Chains A and B, each alone.
Chain A
Amino acid sequence: MNQDKCTIEINGVEVEARPGQMLIEVTDAHDVYVPRFCYHPKLSVAANCRMCLIEVENVPKPLPACATPVAPGMKVRTRSRRAIDAQRSVMEFLLINHPLDCPICDQGGECELQDLAMGFGRDVGRFSEGKRVVRDQDMGPLVSTDLTRCIHCTRCVRFTQEVAGIQELGTIGRGDRVVISSSIEQSISQTVDHELSGNLIDVCPVGSLNSKPYRFSARAWEMQQRALVAGHDCLGSHIFAHVMDGRVKRVVPDACENINETWASDRDRFSYEGLYADDRLDAPLLRENGNWRSVSWPEALAAAAAGLQERAGQGLAALVSPSATLEEGYLLQRLMAHLGSNSIDHRLRRRDVRGQADEPGVPWLGMPVAAVEKLDQLLIVGSNLRKEVPLLAHRVRKAAVAGAGIGFINPADFPVFFPVASTMTGSPDDFWLALATLVRAAAGDGELPAGMAGLLAQAPEPQAHHHQLVARLRDGTRAAIFLGQIAQRHPRFADIDVLAATLARLTGASLGYISEGANAVGLALAGVLPHRGPGGKPRATPGASACEIIGSPPPGLLLFGIEPEFDCAAGSGPARSAGDGRFVVACSAYGSESLLAMADVILPIATWFETEGTFVNAAGRWQSFAAAARAPGEGRPGWKVLRVLAEQLGAKGFRYPDAGAIASELRGLCSDGLPDALAHARLPVAQAPVAGSIGLSELDVPIYRIDALVRRATALQQTVDGRAGAPPAAAQGA
C-alpha cells in the first residue's frame, strides 16, 4: 500500500487521506461539515471547545475531529446519533455562560456560535443558575472587548503566539473562571499593539473581540461586500470593503493564499476611517486673489488647463503618489509627454537617483510573495520590515520559524518577533558599510569586482560573522537579498544598490526591492519615472527626478494624490511663495493646509476605495479592482479627471471608455515578465553623493504616516504606533 495515502470511511463513503492528518482536514476536503469553534486552519490545534466530537467505530467515546489523526481503515460517522448527541451537549454547555445579547452584539448575523446554535442548540435552556459575567478590558483603540461572550476557544491567544509572534493575550484562571486578558507579562501596555492585531476580530468566532471603530454602527446583513485590493503597501492584499448607504463601514480580509493568506494588516483594515475626514474635499477649489473659492468642474478644469498650457514651454513637472493606480499613472505620463515634459516621478521619498539609469527598470521583489516563506537564507538591508509591509514580515517570520537564516543590516535594531541569525546595525549615515564588508568577505582573497575598490575601501575588515553570513547566503538553495524602504530613502542608495547587486551576484542570491506605496511597480511600468517610459523603456532625454523637482520646482507643477509636506523626502515638499509666478495644480482627495498654501487649483479625486483601477504588487501581479463606494460630493476618479484635463489640453487619444481599456493599452507596451535585477553587471556610480548627515527619523516613516488616507484614520492614530509617529505639533496639541 502507498505509504502516503490510506483509505478511511466517512459516513459510509470511502475517501483517501494521509495517515496522521487530522480528521477535520479530511472532512473539510470532502465537504462533510463538522461543527467547530477552536479549530482554525492557520493555527495550531487546541481541541478545547469539543464542538467537533464525532464517532469513530470501535472507539468507546466520541473523539474531537480536529485532534484525531487519521489511521488506515478508520470508520468515521459525523452525523450518527452518538455524534449529534455529543455535539448538542457541548453546545448546551457552551451556551450556559454565553449571554443572550445577540441583538446588541456586532457579531450578530455573522456569528459562528449563533449559526451552530441554530443547528445544535436546544430551543429552551435548562440552566437556571446565575450566568458568569466578566469585566471588560480596554485593549486599545482597535479591538473592543465583550469578554462575557467568550467561549474560551483560545484562537486569539494562539493567533498572537503563532502569527503575530508576540503573545499579547493569554488566559488567566482555570475552569469556569478562565478569562482572556492582555494583562500578561509580555504585553507591557496591556493593549494589543501588534500591526496585525486587527485579525483578532476575525479569528474570534463569537462577539468577544470586535472592531472598535465599527462598533455598533451597522449590522452584518445590511452591508454590501465589495472586493478591493489594499493600497497601503506593496503586497496588494485582497480585502473586502463592507459598504452601507454608499459609505465604507469596515474592511475585512479576503482569503488569498498567495498574498495575504487570510490576514489583513491593521493599516489596510482601519485606514477607511480616513475617507470621511473633515478636510475631505467635495468640490473643486480655485484660488482667486489669494482666496479659495468652490467652483464647478468645468471652471476648475479650464483654469488648470490654461495654467498648465501657459507654462508648458517654461518647464512642467509632476509628482505622483506611489499609491496612485496604474491607470492614473499612465494617463499622467501621457499628459506630461503631450505637454513636452519628462519630469514626472513617484519616488517621492528617494534622496539619491545617481544610479537610476543602471537600476532595474522595475523595482520588484524578484519572486512571488508566497515564495518568501520558502527562502532558506534572506538578508534584508535597510528595512523596518514589520512597519513597512506587515504581512511580508509575517512571511519572513514563517521562513524564520521554519529554520531560515534571516539577517538584517539596519540603522537601528528594529524589533522583530522571530529568530534572527544576524543583525548588523550602524549609524543612519553608514550602516550600509556592513554590506560593503560583506562584499569584501564574499570576494575573498580573489580580485575585488572591477571598479569597486573605491567603494569597498571605506568598509571595515570582514570578521568571522561576516564570512559566516556570506557562506550561508552562498550555501542557501533559495537565498535572497531584499532592499527595504529605508535603504531606498538613503542618500547613498546608489551605492547600497550596487553593493547589494554585487553581493547577490557573488553569492548566487536573488535581489529584490520592498517598494514604497501600493503601486511602485505599476507606476514604474506605466512610465511614471523621469528616466524610463511605459514598459520600463529608457527615455532619450531624462527629466528631473522627484528630489530635483522638490529642490528647484519648475514654473508649472502637477501634484497627484500627495500632501507635499508629509509625502516627500525633504520633509517640506517644493517651496512656494506668493507671487513667484508658479502654477500648481493639485489632484487630491483632501484639502490639507499645505496644499491650500501652495496650490492654485485643487481637483478633488477619489481614493482607491472609490475608483476603478489596477495595482501591480511587489511580485509583479496585476490586480484590477472596481470602486467600492462613491467619492463624496463632486469628487471624481483620478483617471476620469485626467482624461478630461488631457482633452482640454488638446491631447489626442484620451477617450478611453473605462479604466480597463487604459490598463490593457499599457499591458501591450509591457514586455512579458519583470526584469531580473541582476540582468546586467553594475558599476559604482562615479558621481559623488550629496554631502551631509541624515537622521533615523528622516529615513524611517512611521507605519501610520505613510499616506494621506492613513494619516486621517483616527483609530490608527491613537495606537501606540500612531502616537509615536505623530508630528511634534500634533502631539503638543493633543
Chain B
Amino acid sequence: MSRISSAIKTFSLWDLLIGLRVTLRNFFVKKVTVQYPEEKTPQSPRFRGLHALRRYHNGEERCIACKLCQTVCPAAAITIESDVADNGTRRTTRYDIDLFKCIYCGFCEEACPTDAVVLTRIYEYHMEEPGQNIMNKDKLLALGDKYEGMIASDRTTDAPYR
C-alpha cells in the first residue's frame, strides 16, 4: 500500500503541489514588501540616523564645546577642539564625527545639555571618496539647518515620553 501511494505521490508531483499551495495562497494575501526606493518603511521619531548640529532661532550655534558627547561616545567617534570665540563664549573650533566609527547609539544626543548634537531620521547617505566619512562642523551645521523642521517636530513628538 505504502509503496503504491508513494509511487502515485512521486509521479503526480504531490509534494510540489502541497508546496505550491502556499505560493498560491500568498497570491491573494495582502503584500508586505516595501518597494524601496519608491516606497519607504515608516520611521519612529526616535530613529537614530545621520548626525546634525542645531542652532537657536537667532542663528547662534547651540554647541558650547562642553565635550560631554566626546566623553560619552563609546566608539570614540567624536573629536572636538574648543576655544574662546570672538564674543567671549565657549565654542568649538573643530567638531568631527567619524561615521565609520559611529555605532549610532545616540549617547551623544542624550549627553548634550543644549540639544545641539542630534541624530536625524536620515539614513540614506553614502561616501565615494576616502575622508568623506568625517562629518565636520560645517557639514553637520548645514544638515541641522536643512532639517531643523524635522528635528524639531521629532523632539516635540517624543517630548512627553522623556
Chain A residues near B (Cβ < 8 Å): 102-104, 108, 215-219, 221-222
Contacts and interface: CB of A to CB of B under 8 A. Distances in A.
> Which of A102, A108, A215, A219 has its CB near the most chain B CB atoms (within 10 A)?
A219
B66 A218 contact: no
B90 interface: yes
A22 B64 CA distance: 43
Contact of A216 (B68, B71, B90, B113): B90
Q: Which range contains the number of B residues in contact with the other chain?
A: 10 to 19
Contact of A218 (B64, B82, B114): B82
B74 to A, nearest CB: 16
A104 B82 CA distance: 11
B67 interface: yes
A131 to B, nearest CB: 17
A108 B114 CA distance: 16
B84 interface: yes
> Which of A215, A216, A218, A219 has its CB near the most chain B CB atoms (within 10 A)?
A216
9 contacts: A102-B66, A103-B114, A104-B66, A104-B89, A108-B66, A216-B65, A216-B90, A216-B91, A219-B66
B67 A216 contact: no
Contacts of B113: 103
Nearest to A215: B84
Interface string B63-98: 011111001000000000011100001110000000
A217 B66 contact: no
Contact of B64 (A103, A215, A221, A222): A103
Nearest to B113: A103
A215 B84 CA distance: 7
A102 B84 CA distance: 16
A219 B71 contact: yes
B68 to A, nearest CB: 6
Contact of B83 (A102, A217, A222): A217
A222 B67 contact: yes
Given A104-B90, A222-B67, 16 more contacts: A102-B66, A103-B68, A103-B113, A103-B114, A104-B64, A104-B65, A104-B89, A108-B66, A216-B82, A216-B83, A216-B84, A217-B82, A219-B66, A219-B67, A219-B71, A222-B71
Contacts of A103: 64, 66, 68, 113-114
Interface string B1-26: 00000000000000000000000000
A221 B90 contact: no
A135 B89 CA distance: 15
A102 B113 CA distance: 10
Contacts of B89: 104
Contacts of B114: 103
A219 B64 CA distance: 12
A108 B67 CA distance: 11
Query: What 8 pairs across the A-B complex have the smallest Cβ distances?
Result: A103-B66, A216-B90, A104-B90, A103-B113, A104-B64, A219-B67, A216-B84, A216-B82
Contacts of B71: 219, 221-222
A547 B64 CA distance: 55
A604 to B, nearest CB: 26
A400 B17 CA distance: 109
Nearest to B68: A103
Contacts of B91: 216
Interface in B91-139: 91, 113-114
B123 to A, nearest CB: 29
B93 to A, nearest CB: 9
A216 B66 CA distance: 9
A102 B66 CA distance: 8
A108 B83 CA distance: 15
A285 B83 CA distance: 33
A215 B71 CA distance: 19
Contacts of B66: 102-104, 108, 219
Nearest to A219: B67
B80 to A, nearest CB: 9
A333 to B, nearest CB: 44
A104 B66 CA distance: 6
A216 B80 CA distance: 12
A74 B65 CA distance: 50
B86 to A, nearest CB: 13
A141 to B, nearest CB: 13
Nearest to B67: A219
B137 to A, nearest CB: 16
Contacts of A104: 64-66, 89-90
B117 to A, nearest CB: 13
Contacts of B65: 104, 216
A543 to B, nearest CB: 50
Nearest to B89: A104
Contacts of B68: 103
A221 B66 CA distance: 12
A335 to B, nearest CB: 42
B97 to A, nearest CB: 17
A222 B79 CA distance: 12
A215 B89 CA distance: 10
Contacts of B82: 216-218
A543 B47 CA distance: 79
Contacts of A218: 82
Contacts of A222: 67, 71
B63 to A, nearest CB: 10
Nearest to A136: B88
Nearest to A144: B84
A399 to B, nearest CB: 41
Contacts of A108: 66
Contacts of B90: 104, 216
> Which of B90, B91, B114 has its CB near the most chain A CB atoms (within 10 A)?
B90
Nearest to A212: B84
A215 B65 CA distance: 12
Contacts of A215: 84
A565 B95 CA distance: 43
A104 B65 CA distance: 7
A631 B67 CA distance: 27
Contacts of A102: 66
Contacts of B83: 216-217
B70 to A, nearest CB: 8
A218 to B, nearest CB: 7
A489 B108 CA distance: 60
A273 to B, nearest CB: 14
Nearest to B85: A216
Nearest to B64: A104
A649 B23 CA distance: 90
A715 to B, nearest CB: 13
B54 to A, nearest CB: 16
A321 B71 CA distance: 42
Nearest to A244: B81
A222 B82 CA distance: 12
A390 B43 CA distance: 66
B161 to A, nearest CB: 20
A104 B67 CA distance: 9
Contacts of A216: 65, 82-84, 90-91
B20 to A, nearest CB: 64
Contacts of A217: 82-83
A681 to B, nearest CB: 61
Nearest to A222: B67
Nearest to A100: B113
B113 to A, nearest CB: 5
B118 to A, nearest CB: 16
A219 B69 CA distance: 12
A138 to B, nearest CB: 11
A221 B113 CA distance: 18
A50 B65 CA distance: 34
A103 B116 CA distance: 13
B73 to A, nearest CB: 13
A217 B65 CA distance: 9
